[in-house]
Structure 1
């Protein structure tokens, strides 16, 4: 169990979450002033599910043990703003926050989004200092940011895996947000968590300088008292793939789900089209109709350049030359992983502004790219993508007021039959389960990534996941009776044999 049970207070607090879920929420009047003012400055109202998610997280932030929580929600449900509010709660108490994402595009987008929201916050004694740190950050600027992080001048740093570099030292880190956490390998996530724990050794120096401000801005005694406590960790995922599900079911992370979408969100019409001459002509006509109606179109490809080993795959560079000529009068742009950061940023800027109407891209846009008036997604060789990945790509459109479409072009008959589920459902949780049944737990749980995949000789994760959750709750009940298992000597002996490195009762 990673949720602390070392005292009766902690044990009872944890068990109450399961006995009485309604108390696992802090009313807004108990949030910090900075968090409430940030909420007030938002240009929209949070959904009830978002408010519940924030409340659960803030409840954890005020506990005397580090949070380990997973925030799940479908594409476009508003997880990012929930995480921003969690960061503000910590910053309002005088601490730092780190926000790690898998791509530079997403890091830049989050950074700009947060700054835009922060501009609207009024009547605060100070506004948090925010920094962007990625692999493309110039060396001189990077050094300044490192110094600001270590001294505590920077309250929030948003970045990529650069945040786990050894030279990054935090002064007073209290929360680490990991966005799209399944995109990071097991070792990367472990390094990040370990680094954040070690980074908290700098807390005492910083605490002396902010304690008076904390007393004014926070009524949270646990934050003010436990200056050496390891930072809270909030992981987020819009693709609840089974590895993520397994983490929650095994009990090393608490689970929060955002179950609704912002009001007014229109469903995306999905079409499965065979990639032959007739199919392509149909797609080109649908693109033309969308452009004439004022829409913007993504064309997504599985590879950047044509490959001799995989000649059946369409490449973005090849098709950019061949297809863009069919749409004279509409500016087309390129976006792929081999481009420099400035070039990527410029392509997205032009697409957002309307200078570009068609964006030829690879799956680099899959995670988090937000262009509200983009209205059509076309995916080439769609059978090469996982169901959850296609759902993410589809989530790049339908984010504004326009009725949107998603066209999935399949090169094989078997690919068409597998993709039909995308026409039937837009529920990411349902599609994740379908993906698991189709592909099995091996690839989805990350056998190809660093880290050990637990084997289940009897249970099947895709069928028996509910048993794991029931076992988790049963374990909590047993710990509620005897947190050190002294009243269950046979169980304690069995666990000691199965996990000899996990000393019970100390």
Structure 2
């Protein structure tokens, strides 16, 4: 500072008695560059020994030194989408002349983030322009299938089935994500698609992540399809070698129309005569290579999940898939009544459990979540075992068993079969029951230390009760009764809408933690926001699909700058080769 120099200062101003104080944050000479005062001011994340004023000056001078920043998007595309030039966007995002210019710059840079993300998803999935099966969908076949059901499809099921059948009739390979809450009737819709495939003399496969779930699907599909002459077979890892050989032979000869199984479906011994439709349930529980192993021969692909995924996340994580949603429950299904308790009222939960067990009902108790690592898996086993002992003391007249992740698959299956057969009253379990467990006699779930779970996971767990048609209950016991925790858990207490719950979970926890573990392939967004930028995401996804449909490997001269930028961004997140 020089004596007599006029400066502009900014900071917090306070008055104490007669003393006036200004805690200076920034200052600059009047009439100079004025980067920190008198304008919309950029605020940067700073490293050590770095000031906002220094970084602003550095960015300003860097931008001044550049002539025009080259734009990777073709001019025709920018004009069509009414997007600002990259040069304008980068200058205005740092030093905007006004709010309108800042909004234009943000829109362009967010669009770029989502466009390059969608291009990566489409290109790495290899599903940008594949030719698939072409099925004939006959009205009489649909009438036969729908007429054989003991219920009528809901309006949402009919809408989703129409979307799936339109895909099956087109020459492009179907790649569709079917979302629907537990009990919304996804299996009936999948059965209709598998029936159409069978009527076209093509085979169908349904792959589930666990043997329990595979057996449930096998039973349901047998009930729907066997009376219509469709031969359904089960293939799991626990079957004896001789049984498996017989199934392999029937699959290869075409004697089997639909095969239901676990990862046993993707062993090299399994050779389909002609696989036309692959249905993958709870797809995120399989590895990428496991999923691809089922897709040899380019069958149409239907992915199902009962995990409600917010639309924005579905469009990015599953950018290569079209999204269908069953957003309506069958008539007569009663919503699970949910109650939130603190540790002080915990005994009330077990008093209620005692009453229901006395009436002949069964109960799930979920042990607190412990993040998985080798040491912590043992801690989770210990926590579940100790909780089971405590529950046995709280409910002395009840028969209590424990289920945890260290048990072998056949042990888990045998225990769940005993629970389904009402051999005991209370199952104390870790989150291994989260997906696909169907126990009609269970109508109460108690979740201990509920604050350790994400909202979407709590909703999934809650869906395990009430499968027998009677009123079901879920009690959340909060170990932490802080205001913030209780406010979050009240979302579950007040709403049974899985998509609303998932949206709130996304807002509270962010995309990386939505399922408890960070999803690979979804980078941290610098400007884009998955909770508020759905329109931009949809526009970017539609643009990415259109670009690749016209130029699958971006070889056209006008796409070379786009391709270079895509490679640079891919390398920034560790993807060496994209195209």
The aligned counterpart of 1:134 is 236
Q: 1:431 aligns with which of 501, 512, 523?
A: 501
Task: Report the CA distance shift for 1:143/1:6 in structure 2 as closer, same or farther (over 3 A).
Answer: closer
Q: Shift in Å at residue 250 of structure 1?
A: 6.8
Residue 392 (structure 1) aligned with residue 491 (structure 2)? no
The aligned counterpart of 1:148 is 250
User: Matched residue of 2:191: which SS?
Assistant: helix
Contact 2:236 2:261 in 1 (8 A): yes
Q: Shift in Å at residue 285 of structure 1?
A: 0.8
The aligned counterpart of 1:30 is 138
The aligned counterpart of 2:185 is 78
| Mapping 1:32-111, distance limit 5 Å | 33=141, 36-111=143-218
The aligned counterpart of 1:285 is 351
TM-score, structure 2 as length reference = 0.67
Question: How many residues matched?
Answer: 437
User: Matched residue of 1:364: which SS?
Assistant: helix
User: Matched residue of 1:462: which SS?
Assistant: coil
The aligned counterpart of 2:492 is 422
Q: What is the alpha-carbon distance in structure 1 between the residues aligned to residue 381 and residue 531 of structure 2?
A: 31
Q: 1:173 aligns with which of 240, 265, 275?
A: 275
Contact 1:103 1:160 in 2 (8 A): yes
Q: Shift in Å at residue 79 of structure 1?
A: 1.0
Contact 1:297 1:358 in 2 (8 A): yes
CA shift digits 1:41-69 (9 cap, x unpaired): 22222111111111211111111121000
Contact 1:3 1:67 in 2 (8 A): no
Q: What is the alpha-carbon distance in structure 1 between the residues aligned to residue 515 and residue 559 of structure 2?
A: 29
CA shift digits 1:269-290 (9 cap, x unpaired): 1112223xx4331111111122
Residue 296 (structure 1) aligned with residue 362 (structure 2)? yes
User: Matched residue of 2:222: which SS?
Assistant: helix
The aligned counterpart of 1:472 is 541
User: Matched residue of 2:534: which SS?
Assistant: helix
| Mapping 1:118-129, distance limit 5 Å | 118-119=225-226, 121=227, 124=228, 127-129=229-231
Residue 320 (structure 1) aligned with residue 388 (structure 2)? yes
CA RMSD of aligned residues (A): 3.5
Residue 371 (structure 1) aligned with residue 470 (structure 2)? no
Contact 2:207 2:265 in 1 (8 A): yes
Q: Shift in Å at residue 256 of structure 1?
A: 0.7
Q: Shift in Å at residue 190 of structure 1?
A: 4.2
* More displaced 10-residue stretch of structure 1: 61-70 or 265-274: 265-274
Q: What is the alpha-carbon distance in structure 2 between the residues aligned to residue 377 and residue 6 of structure 1?
A: 45
The aligned counterpart of 1:245 is 313
Task: Report the CA distance shift for 1:463/1:253 in structure 2 as closer, same or farther (over 3 A).
Answer: same
The aligned counterpart of 2:288 is 189
Q: What is the alpha-carbon distance in structure 2 between the residues aligned to residue 80 and residue 419 of structure 1?
A: 30
Q: Shift in Å at residue 366 of structure 1?
A: 1.3
Task: Report the CA distance shift for 1:109/1:401 in structure 2 as closer, same or farther (over 3 A).
Answer: closer
The aligned counterpart of 1:211 is none
Q: What is the alpha-carbon distance in structure 2 between the residues aligned to residue 502 and residue 279 of structure 1?
A: 55
Q: What is the alpha-carbon distance in structure 2 between the residues aligned to residue 137 and residue 162 of structure 1?
A: 10
Contact 1:128 1:156 in 2 (8 A): yes
Q: What is the alpha-carbon distance in structure 2 between the residues aligned to residue 392 and residue 445 of structure 1?
A: 11
CA shift digits 1:127-174 (9 cap, x unpaired): 333222233222222232223223322222222223233333222111
The aligned counterpart of 1:226 is none
Contact 2:225 2:232 in 1 (8 A): no
The aligned counterpart of 1:454 is 523
For structure 1, the residue ranges without an aligned partner over 5 or more in a row are 14-25, 201-229
* More displaced 10-residue stretch of structure 1: 131-140 or 385-394: 131-140
The aligned counterpart of 2:82 is none
Task: Report the CA distance shift for 1:303/1:138 in structure 2 as closer, same or farther (over 3 A).
Answer: farther
* More displaced 10-residue stretch of structure 1: 341-350 or 394-403: 341-350
Q: What is the alpha-carbon distance in structure 2 between the residues aligned to residue 323 and residue 446 of structure 1?
A: 27
The aligned counterpart of 1:162 is 264
The aligned counterpart of 2:559 is 492
Task: Report the CA distance shift for 1:245/1:148 in structure 2 as closer, same or farther (over 3 A).
Answer: farther
Contact 1:241 1:444 in 2 (8 A): no
The aligned counterpart of 1:257 is 325
Contact 1:249 1:468 in 2 (8 A): no
CA shift digits 1:409-435 (9 cap, x unpaired): 122234444322111211111111111
User: Matched residue of 2:528: which SS?
Assistant: coil
